[in-house]
Structure 1
């Protein structure tokens, strides 16, 4: 269950000065770009969150409201809140316990977070440049069902601005049908500064995608992926994935813990195979 998003960019043109809506849009995009630079400029996830909170302003909120519907603004805010919450969890190093660790260095950690529940943290190093991972996880997100057996289908339901989307994800049934059919509706957003990408999301409500018969509407979030080049080696990427899911229904905790940690380990393996087998050129994000 991944989090996917889109690149943030801005442009300017003299003709916008003749159109107040265009001027407002130019202004909000410039503000967003500057906020992104400041948000992702710090050395640690917790520092990024503090900068987001300090830089958020009433002016930028009003500009957003003039350019989007009330519902769109709500989605934008949900995405930002998910990112702040997820980075805050990753930034707190206390209380993490090992779930599993592989000989190649892949490891899954977990801890219980107040008001969230048990969260899982995957840490892996992939022998591919960060841009290649970004392309596969973001630009080609709807193809994920082709290579990740835990995902049956992902569809983008709506794009909001340049960095926020609403998605519907149908999870594949687990072996032995331990966990029955589940689907997810999520708001997802991204921030990029230099060589670091942060992809975050959480469950949301989307009127055009009601619950479906025979499928339990599960919820995830806050969730987050952080992609960074390995220090000294730009051809390797450190991927950290915070996974938080409420599968709904009645399931023993032991089953949930096993499914979550195994899902993350399997994801790393399938992602590596996809990156090696796919011949698509890397795209800078």
Structure 2
């Protein structure tokens, strides 16, 4: 399987989503984030866009969110129970497995996701983490977990010009949770979950600065 090629394609799609203003409909707004959605072209679900400005440097934000083994995500992100690198494909791409705890008052049972993840830095200092689902021989489905599927998704950490302690975090989520969940549960879960992600990240950054 061309893991590197799939990772690059996911990054290209993220860049397309970032530049495409059409069809987004607002569904949730908090002090930290504005969330909007539109139908996904990848699967029979929704693509979510989340945008918020964080009072921290891009490097600090990146340290909190970057998808690496032993990173801080498992400490502050309530949706990440475990994160492991299955295969390093290149200096910038790796196949990873993420397990998530039960959620939404346990209506959503624990899940696992196997993705190829690409990390990339742009000339303007923007950092991108992009991912999409893959199969891997070292990661057969676990009998005690539901296998979910991420379609091209990830985060842009964008510096705010002239403001080194501010970062725009632009995120895209499009996930098939798998299993047999009512659509109403899925539609309620994601906007609330994304808002919680930004809220918990804001708290983690404050702890980092303390």
User: What residue is the counterpart of 2:94 in the other structure?
Assistant: 165
Q: Which digits, 9 at most, give the CA deviation of each residue in 1:186-241, with x for residues without a partner?
A: 00002212311121110011111110112111000110211111233121000010
Q: Which digits, 9 at most, give the CA deviation of each residue in 1:118-159, with x for residues without a partner?
A: 111110100000011112222765332221112111111121
Shift of residue 161 of structure 1? Answer: 1.7
Q: Which digits, 9 at most, give the CA deviation of each residue in 1:262-284, with x for residues without a partner?
A: 1111111111111121369xxxx
- 1:267 and 1:105 map into 2 onto residues whose CA distance is 10
Which TM-score applies when normalising by structure 2? 0.92
Q: Which digits, 9 at most, give the CA deviation of each residue in 1:151-193, with x for residues without a partner?
A: 1111111212210011110011114211111110000002212
Structure 2 unpaired stretches of 5+: none
- 2:155 and 2:67 map into 1 onto residues whose CA distance is 15
- 2:52 and 2:205 map into 1 onto residues whose CA distance is 14
User: What residue is the counterpart of 2:118 in the other structure?
Assistant: 189
- 2:189 and 2:74 map into 1 onto residues whose CA distance is 18
- 2:118 and 2:190 map into 1 onto residues whose CA distance is 22
Count of residues paired in the alignment: 207
Quick check: 1:131 aligned with 2:59?
A: yes
Check whether the contact 2:86–2:97 (CA below 8 A) recurs between aligned residues. Answer: yes
User: What residue is the counterpart of 1:85 in the other structure?
Assistant: 13
- 1:258 and 1:250 map into 2 onto residues whose CA distance is 15
Q: Calculate the aligned-residue CA RMSD, in Å.
A: 1.7
- 2:172 and 2:126 map into 1 onto residues whose CA distance is 16
**Counterpart among 23, 33, 37 of residue 110 in structure 1:** 37
Q: Which has the higher strand share?
A: 2
The structure whose Rg is larger is 1
User: What residue is the counterpart of 1:235 in the other structure?
Assistant: 165
User: What residue is the counterpart of 1:225 in the other structure?
Assistant: 155
User: What residue is the counterpart of 1:202 in the other structure?
Assistant: 132
Q: Which has the higher helix share?
A: 1
Check whether the contact 1:87–1:224 (CA below 8 A) recurs between aligned residues. Answer: no
Quick check: 1:247 aligned with 2:177?
A: yes
Check whether the contact 2:40–2:174 (CA below 8 A) recurs between aligned residues. Answer: no
Moved over 6 A (4+): none
- 1:100 and 1:265 map into 2 onto residues whose CA distance is 8
Check whether the contact 2:32–2:195 (CA below 8 A) recurs between aligned residues. Answer: no
Which TM-score applies when normalising by structure 1? 0.69
